[in-house]
Amino acid sequence: MNVKTVLNFDMMLNLLLFLAFAPSCIHSESEEQLLVGMTLVRNATAYGARCLDGSLPAYHLHRGFGAGANNWILQFEGGGWCNDVSSCLERAKTRRGSTRLMSKLELFSGILSNNASLNPDFYNWNRVKLRYCDGASFSGDSKFDNGTSLLYFRGQKIWEAIIHDLLPKGLASASKALLSGCSAGGLATFLHCDSLTNMLPSNASLKCLSDAGFFLDVRDMSSNYSMRSFYHDLVALQGIEKNLNQNCMRSINQPELYALQYITTPYFILNSAYDVFQFHHSLVPPSADLHGHWNSCKLNPAACDANQIDVLQGMRHDMLAALKSFYKNSTSGGLFINSCFAHCQSESRDTWFAADSPRIHNKTIAEAVGDWYFDRGVTKEIDCAYPCDSTCHNLIPSSPQIHSHPFHVSHHDSNSNPSTLLTPGHNGDRGVVDEASIEVVRRPRGDGQSLSFSSDGGDSTITMVVMVQNIVGPPPSTNLSWVR
C-alpha cells in the first residue's frame, strides 16, 4: 500500500473510531421502563440493505407527542466492528450481525426516555433506535461471497433504507432533528451527520450528538497504532472509503487530521477523557500488555500506579489537544468531556439526567446537550483531570474473555451489596442486561497489530464493575493551561 493511501485511511480512521461495548444501562431502581418493539424494514432489499447474515434491517420507533410531535431523535445503536471475514462470519451468527437474533424489545432510557423528569428536552420527540447489524458503523457497501460463505457489508444501505422507511412516517416533515449514537454508533453519527441534512426538509433544523464516538489515533503501549490498523482493515473489508467525507479524503497533508472539521452540521461531542473502551483497546490493547501489568488498573483506576496514571493523563492530554481547535473555534459545536471512567453516557438514565449523574460545573449531560441544542447557554464543558470529579459513575467492563457460559453482570456500587447479580435470560427479556455489551476478542492476527472484535448477547462472559465515587489517585501530571 502506498503512503498516500495510508494517509487517506488515517484521516478517516481518526474520525472513524471505535466501538461500542456500551456498559450503558445499569439501573439501580426498579421503576417503570419503556420497552419499544422492533420494526423490520420490509422494503430494505429494494435498497440492497441487509444485515451481515442477510436478514432485514430494523429500528424501534416510539412516537412523539404534543410539542415534540414533529421532532425526531435518530439514535444509532453501537456495538463494535468486525474487520475481517472470519470475525464477521462469527458476528453474523450473533445479535450484532442479525436482526433474527436481536431482542425484539429495546429499553428506551436516557436520551430515549419518554419521561419528562428523566429526559426534559427530548422526552416528547419521536425517538428511534436504529439497530446495528452491519459491523461497520452503518458505512459499508460491499459483499463477501466465495461460493461457500456469504456476508453482506451494507451498512450504508441500511442507513438509507431506514431513513426512507421513516420519511413517510413523519420524518419528511420534521421540524427539529437530532442524530445521535454511542461508540460505533457515535462514529456513525459523525459519518452520517451531514448526509441526513439532505434527506430532511430544507427548513428542518438538524444537529448531531456523538457519544463516546471520538476515537483517538494514538499509539498503544507497544508503540503501535493498533486502532489505526484495525480501522484500516475495516475500511478495506467493507468498502467504506467511497462513503467517507470526500473533502476530508482529498485533504491528505496531515496524518493527524481528524474529519471533524469537515462536518458542517452543528455537532456535540460527548466523551470521557478516559474513555474505557479507548483505554482498554486503543491505548492498552491486550496485544500491548502480554503480561497483564495493566489488568488491575483497567478494572479499577484506584489500583493504577503512578506511571499508569501518567499514561492515562497523557490520553486525556491527547484528546484535549485533538479537540482544541473545535473547542476554541467552533461556534455551533458543543462539548462535554468529563473525567469519568466510562464509555457511553447518554443512553442511561443514571448518567444522563439523574440527581447523582455526572456533572461539570454542576451541569448534567442532559442539561449540557439541551442547552446546546436549544441555544440556551454555554455549550462547551471540559472537566478537571482525574481524580478531581466526585460525580463520576465509573463504568468499567472487564478485559475481554473468550468463554461460553451465560454472561452475567456484577453490579457493585457504594450503596449496594457488591455481589448483586443480574442474570439475563434470552435477548430482550431483560432489557437492562441486554444492554450490557459483550465483547469477545478473537484471534490476534499473525502480525500482532490488530485484533478482531466481535460481540454477542448470549454466550460470553463480561463482568461489569460499577464503582461510584471515592476514586483516589495522584494528581494530574499534564499541563493544560487552556482548560479550566
Ligand X SMILES: *[C@@H]1O[C@H](CO)[C@@H](O)[C@H](O)[C@H]1NC(C)=O
Residues that bind ligand X (CB under 6 A): 31-32, 43, 46-47, 85-86, 115, 117-118, 146-149, 175, 201, 203, 222, 224, 287-288, 324-325, 328-329, 362, 448-449, 479, 481
343 is catalytic: yes
Q: Closest CB to ligand X among 298 and 437? A: 298
Share of the chain residues as helix, strand and coil, in percent rounded to the nearest 5: 30, 20, 50
CB of 290 to ligand X, least distance (A): 7
CA distance 111 to 72: 12
CA distance 465 to 132: 25
Q: Closest CB to ligand X among 271 and 449? A: 449
CB of 444 to ligand X, least distance (A): 8
Catalytic residue among 60, 164, 192, 343: 343
Q: Closest CB to ligand X among 83 and 183? A: 83
CB of 87 to ligand X, least distance (A): 10
Q: Closest CB to ligand X among 336 and 407? A: 336
Catalytic residue among 275, 383, 389, 434: 275
CB of 328 to ligand X, least distance (A): 4
Catalytic residue among 183, 357, 454, 455: 183
Element (H, E) at 152: strand 150-153
> Given the C-alpha cell 447474515, which residue does it identify?
53
CB of 78 to ligand X, least distance (A): 25
Q: Closest CB to ligand X among 20 and 161? A: 161
DSSP helix/strand/coil, 382 = strand
Q: Which residues contact 143 (CB under 8 A, 6 or more apart)?
A: 150, 151, 152, 153, 154
- How would you class 379 by CB atoms within 10 Å of its CB: exposed for 0-12, middle for 13-18, buried for 19 or more? buried
CB of 174 to ligand X, least distance (A): 8
357 is catalytic: no
Task: Evaluate whether 183 touches 19 at the Cβ level (below 8 Å).
Answer: yes
Q: Closest CB to ligand X among 250 and 324? A: 324
291 is catalytic: no
Phi-psi region of 230 (alpha: psi -120 to 50; beta: other; left: phi over 0): alpha
Element (H, E) at 278: helix 276-278
CA distance 361 to 343: 20
Instruction: Single out the residue of 136, 214, 162 nearest to residue 49, CA to CA.
Output: 162
Give the active site residues. Answer: 183, 275, 343
